[in-house]
Amino acid sequence: KYCDRGSLHQAIAKGLFKSSSKWNNKIALRALLRTAREIAQGMSHLHTCRVVHGDLKPGNVLLMSSRADRRGFTAKVSDFGLSTYCMASHTSVTRWSTVSYMAPEAFEGHLTMGSDTFSFGVLLWEMYTGMYPYSGLQAAQIVMGVQAGQLSLEWPPDSDPRIVDLVEGCIQRNPAARPTFNQLISQL
């Protein structure tokens, strides 16, 4: 399908999910949750087919015009170049995706369905805060910090506890402790 509204990365950069003169806090949060739900539905479909995306990030979510709601778009997961069919509980990989969104186990060459959930958590954090994850750090610092569990996403003081809990559940170190996309859909 033709996605004429750009990427989620561009929408975040424009402050689409922040309150403004056009949208109040409630409407901005509703737009964020609806968009996150559409992404989770796309990821759930992939996981039902036993496919791990492997590179979920805002630049790989495209927006297509839609009159279904006030946002004016629907979100579509894209760029399956690093996707892998996963027969077992995990699959081994030799290629890396964008380090800011990678799960700890991915740095060791293991991808799981939970690796995509971790990436989704970082993506959701970015949608909510409008900030790039681990901004100012070099790739090697991110890799070492995430692997060691010494690097965390910083939340603004007035963050919505529902979003914080959702993201924190997604970015747990243990892949088995992370929610599935079906569980996330029910929470969104």
Distance, in Å, from the CA atom of 35 to the CA atom of 29, rounded to the nearest integer, reads: 10
> Would you say 114 and 178 are in contact if contact means Cβ atoms under 8 Å apart?
yes
Q: With 0-12 CB in 10 A as exposed, 13-18 as middle and 19+ as buried, what is 168?
A: middle
Beta strands in the chain (DSSP E): 51-52, 61-65, 73-77, 84-85, 91-92, 110-111
Contact of 96 with 104, CB cutoff 8 Å: no
Catalytic residue list contains 158: no
**H or E, element range at 147:** helix 139-148
* Cα separation, 101 vs 46, whole angstroms: 18
Q: Catalytic residue among 4, 55, 116, 158, which?
A: 55
Q: Which two tokens stand for residue 58?
A: 């805002």
Positions annotated as catalytic residues are 55
